[in-house]
Amino acid sequence: MERNKSFIWSQAGLIVLLVLGSILSLGLMIPVRPTVFTNKIEKDISDKNSITTEVETQKRVEKFRLAMLSTWQKQALEKGLAYNIPKRFRGVTINQAKVPSRKKLIALTFDDGPWDNYTREILDILKEHQVKATFFVLGQALKNKPDMGRRIVSDGHVIANHTWNHRYHYHNPKTAASEIDRSSELIYKTTGVKTTLFRPPGGILNNGLVAYAKKKNYTVVMWSADSNDYKRPSVGTLVNSVVRQSTPGGIILLHDGGGNRSRTVESLVPMIQILKEQGYTFATIPELLEAEEQERKLGKSRKKKSPQPQGKSKKTS
């Protein structure tokens, strides 16, 4: 009996110990668990906050970007840079405009940019000499230099389409559409200008690009004076060649991108000076076409038409 009693007591003692132990463990656990839990909640909230902040920042940046873009588009429209090309020139190819020799208008055109340094240097020279020009830009180049594209427009020049990739091979309607539409969309998004002027890479007229451009009512702009500046002739040769080929209503082909254009930059000042001395006034392509249109309306262009040399090189635009 005594044995049983002490057995029972020892059993009871064990139970008490177990219960106490459990209470103690629970007591220890209770303050621990909420801490872990609270930390998790805090972490979740902090993650959520940082995601929210990120989304808010993105929204603000996007709003700012759109506001800037809309300002640009507004300015472009206010400045009259959303130009209109007279109907007769839509969907056709031109090499030069038919303007009377007394007017002596001529257009400088630059292809393949915007390109680091050269485009900037050319813009500086044009500004200094108060000359307006036309820039046939590549979509992929403009994508890399959007600020330069905007400067072309804000300086009062005309920005136009020269495809996205500058490829010479045959384009089916789908790839032609991609090359031309994508570039025009980027020009619009970047500068606010809706261009309707197109120059095919290499001056190639039969690889599908021009067919698509004409279908879309672009004016296909070739040239009457090829500087051959891509061959990097001496400044003297380059200037003389351009001056020799210059005619009223003429379109001069130059490059601000696609390679080393330092000779083009160097030639620009003497070229502008000589042509000005010869009585030429520089015009953009829309201005040149508008001048022809006005002459036609006045019925004066029939009196005397200037000769129209054709663009000779097919590899340089």
- Of 201 and 311, the one with the shorter C-beta distance to Zn ion is 201
Spatial CB neighbours of 247, under 8 Å, sequence gap ≥ 6? 96, 106, 224, 225, 306, 307, 308, 309
Q: Does 161 bind Zn ion (CB under 5 A)?
A: no
Contact predicate 201/192, CB 8 Å: no
Q: Please state, in angstroms and rounded to a whole number, the distance separating the CA atoms of residues 94 and 298.
A: 21
Contact predicate 140/163, CB 8 Å: no
- Among 157, 166, 171, 255, the active-site one is 255
- Among 111, 112, 226, 229, the active-site one is 111
Contact predicate 226/289, CB 8 Å: no
Number of residues that bind Zn ion (CB under 5 A): 4
Structure tokens at 67: 């506001």
- Of 111 and 179, the one with the shorter C-beta distance to Zn ion is 111
- Of 209 and 289, the one with the shorter C-beta distance to Zn ion is 209
- Minimum separation from the CB atom of position 50 to Zn ion (A): 47
- Of 72 and 230, the one with the shorter C-beta distance to Zn ion is 230
Using alpha carbons only, how large is the chain's radius of gyration in Å? 35
Site for Zn ion in 72-111 (CB under 5 A): 111
- Minimum separation from the CB atom of position 229 to Zn ion (A): 12
Closest C-alpha among 192, 312, 177, 308 to residue 250: 308
Spatial CB neighbours of 254, under 8 Å, sequence gap ≥ 6? 108, 109, 110, 111, 227, 229, 264, 268
Which one of 81, 95, 109, 112 is in contact with Zn ion (CB under 5 A)? 112
Q: Please state, in angstroms and rounded to a whole number, the distance separating the CA atoms of residues 137 and 120.
A: 14
Contact predicate 249/96, CB 8 Å: yes
Q: Does 317 bind Zn ion (CB under 5 A)?
A: yes
Q: Does 226 bind Zn ion (CB under 5 A)?
A: no
Catalytic residue flag (residue 129): no
Site for Zn ion in 187-216 (CB under 5 A): 201
Q: Residue 165, Cβ neighbours under 10 Å: how many?
A: 13
- Of 100 and 201, the one with the shorter C-beta distance to Zn ion is 201
- Minimum separation from the CB atom of position 197 to Zn ion (A): 14
Q: Residue 62, Cβ neighbours under 10 Å: how many?
A: 10
- Minimum separation from the CB atom of position 230 to Zn ion (A): 9
Catalytic residue flag (residue 155): no
- Of 191 and 317, the one with the shorter C-beta distance to Zn ion is 317
- Minimum separation from the CB atom of position 68 to Zn ion (A): 30
- Minimum separation from the CB atom of position 144 to Zn ion (A): 16
Which residues belong to the active site?
111, 255
Binding residues (CB under 5 A) for Zn ion: these are 111-112, 201, 317
